[in-house]
Chains A and B, each alone.
Chain A
Amino acid sequence: MELFINQLINGLNTGSIYALVAIGYTMVYGIIKLINFAHGEIMMFGAYFAFVFAYMIPWNLPFILIIIISMILAAIMGMLIERIAYKKLRKAPRISALITAIGMSLFLQNLALLIFGASYKRMRPLVSTEPVHLFGFNISKLTLITIGLSVFFMMVLTFFIHKTKPGKAMRAVSQDKGAAILMGINIDNIISLTFAIGSALGALGGIFYAMAYSQIYPTLGVMPGLKAFIAAVFGGIGNITGAMVGGYLIGIIETMTKAYISKQWVDAIVFGLLILILLFKPSGLLGKSTKEKV
């Protein structure tokens, strides 16, 4: 039982990271129907930003400030990527936009390779990993902070989407772009905002991921990016709550599989689950199914 609870907490930890990254995928897909393959690389850059501000500059910045600076930088990066690479292709065939996203992903990976080098860098956790006693269990402080901050930012996001004017505009654009323009919404700004929020949350996920495995390297974003993408599909791509639920589910399923079934087969099981979901409920757990009309 104790093992089970510990694994559940581990699952929540990984799940928080997947959920944060999945939100970026799902928001971008919801608004411009693009699978943003470069999102995993933004996650990786977020981790590198934190690394630079924590270890490569002389000042001793507090943890929260490092996180916020990295998130802002990643947000700017996300907006720039959208303006440079995706904006021109909004009306082009979707497959060309997809290739551009893949190209962007390769570009960012190699940029990181050029700037930071191919070697694995050691990313010491920025908060202590000493265990804290909670309800009779030992939980590391880092895990608590990961889960806590992730939940906090997700709550802020939900509030933003549902209660504020820009959030409302965002929902409007994802529902019907043409009608949104007629209502006086500046689509370009809203899309930029979407990329900024998605990238900032993705960077946060990247920082937590790098700290959890205490290393950092240019292809760090590929595998968790893919898993987070699965999480987004799992919960219903385009649906923000779905991405959060999907992220936690995938995280928990993955850790449980590792602990109880097999370490080697974990990827096959997670991807097999994805295929099952796609076959029986292609729109995901929380997604609405759309019918094709002639």
Chain B
Amino acid sequence: MDKLKQLHKTLVNNKFINYTVVFFIFIILFLLINSGVINRYLSNLIIMILIMIVMATSLNIATGFLGQLHLGHAAFMGIGAYTAGIIGIALQDVIASDLLLFLVATFGAMITAGFAGFLVGTPALRLRGDYLGIMTLGFGEIVRTVITNLKSITNGAQGLSGIPRIMTFPIAFWTTVIVVTLIFLFMNSRHGRAIISIREDEIASESVGINITRYKLLGFILASMFAGVGGSMFAFKESFLAPISFNFIKSVEIFVIVVLGGMGSLSGSIIAAIVLVFLPEYLRDFNQYRYLLYSSVLIIIMLYRPQGLMGTKEINFIKIKTWIKSKYTKVFLKGSD
């Protein structure tokens, strides 16, 4: 009983610490942005990182936890972005509050992207491995072509403009926090464990009574819905959408973040998103060499750490705390010797 209480205490403590750290990061960044220490360019970059975090963690459901090769994630982002953009343009005079407008549009984006995920997922998840990857790639290209050609709704290749630019740092930050928390809680629930078991061994998990098709579809739809959220954030940040933003290269970019961070590690995705969005900007000094360096870094990391930066591990602030504590006590004990 005592042990149970201890466990309960650690768990509560653990959550508390994680939330505190998130809150502190927010306060610090918010103050820095408001006081002008972080300029407009940098704060835009931070919002872009937050969008990529949403995209990468959502793709992590399908690729990392479910173990499926998914090369068309940008298409779902595009569907979400266009839905949110069109809703945003239509309702900007009706809804006065920016936050409410964003929430309504995001809800719409989640529905359309999730529905697209359902439509693609139902037939696609019968396929395995590379074939699924090829199919999602093909679907992504189809979505791009459809968006380009549906001129009456999306304004074709010229792009959809006039979306209200309402994405501020606090909205982006808390949306990201909510999405990542939801994904984390889902993955640690019963359903999440069922999904992870499918990744580990499909046949074995089927034999213990897990409905593989249902859980695969569930994972796929969830990934698409959260991609819709990322798309909505993107639409309200850029205020302009073009089909070229959601092509195969974009899907690959998101996919690279997931694999580089470690498939099945949400904190890995977050770190990799930060690194990979910052890296090309940071390398601006090298000008024309920067994408050469970027791709070399990619290859070198994969050669020497094929499981990604984090593997399947997560960063946990409680662990860091106990680690610091143990180190401290060690020093303390040595001192008392």
* Nearest A residue to B151, CB-CB: A264
Write out the residue numbers on chain B whose beta carbons fall within 8 Å of the beta carbon of A272: 138, 142
- Whether A233 lies near B134 (C-beta < 8 A) is yes
* Nearest A residue to B308, CB-CB: A96
Question: Given A102-B252, A110-B292, A278-B127, are A268 and B259 neighbors across the interface (CB < 8 Å)?
Answer: no
Q: Which positions 235-291 of chain A face chain B at CB distance < 8 Å?
A: 237, 264-265, 267-268, 271-272, 274-275, 278-279, 282
- Report the Cα distance A271→B142, complex, angstroms: 6
Question: Given A107-B296, A230-B138, A278-B135, are A35 and B130 neighbors across the interface (CB < 8 Å)?
Answer: yes
Q: Check A56 for interface membership: any CB of B closer than 8 A.
A: no
Q: Check A127 for interface membership: any CB of B closer than 8 A.
A: no
- Whether B294 lies near A106 (C-beta < 8 A) is yes
Q: Check B336 for interface membership: any CB of A closer than 8 A.
A: no
- Whether A103 lies near B298 (C-beta < 8 A) is yes
> Chain A interface mostly helix, strand, loop or mixed?
helix
Question: Given A267-B145, A272-B142, are A99 and B292 neighbors across the interface (CB < 8 Å)?
Answer: no
**Interface-lining segment among B26-34, B110-118, B299-307:** B299-307
- Whether A106 lies near B291 (C-beta < 8 A) is yes
- Whether B288 lies near A114 (C-beta < 8 A) is yes
* Nearest B residue to A275, CB-CB: B138
**A73-98 near B? 1/0 per residue, CB < 8 Å:** 00000000000010011001111111
> Chain B interface mostly helix, strand, loop or mixed?
helix
- Whether A96 lies near B292 (C-beta < 8 A) is no
- Whether A274 lies near B294 (C-beta < 8 A) is no
Q: Check B195 for interface membership: any CB of A closer than 8 A.
A: no
- Whether B295 lies near A110 (C-beta < 8 A) is yes
**B116-136 near A? 1/0 per residue, CB < 8 Å:** 000000010011011101110
- Report the Cα distance A274→B294, complex, angstroms: 32
Count of chain B residues with a beta carbon within 8 Å of a chain A beta carbon: 42
Measured between C-beta atoms, what is the minimum distance from A30 to chain B in Å? 12
- Whether A264 lies near B149 (C-beta < 8 A) is yes
Question: Given A85-B303, A99-B260, A100-B302, are A278 and B141 neighbors across the interface (CB < 8 Å)?
Answer: no
- Whether B142 lies near A268 (C-beta < 8 A) is yes
A-B contacts besides A106-B291, A107-B292, A230-B134, 13 pairs, CB < 8 Å: A85-B303, A89-B303, A99-B260, A99-B298, A102-B252, A102-B298, A103-B296, A104-B299, A233-B134, A264-B149, A265-B145, A268-B142, A274-B134
Leading 3 A-B pairs by shortest Cβ distance? A96-B306, A103-B298, A107-B295
A to B CB contacts below 8 Å, 19 in the list: A89-B306, A94-B129, A97-B302, A99-B255, A100-B303, A102-B252, A102-B255, A103-B296, A107-B299, A109-B291, A114-B292, A226-B137, A233-B134, A264-B145, A264-B148, A264-B149, A265-B149, A275-B123, A275-B138
Interface residues of B, Cβ cutoff 8 Å to A: 63, 69, 123, 126-127, 129-131, 133-135, 137-139, 141-142, 144-146, 148-149, 203, 248, 252, 255-256, 259-260, 263, 288-289, 291-292, 294-296, 298-299, 302-303, 306-307
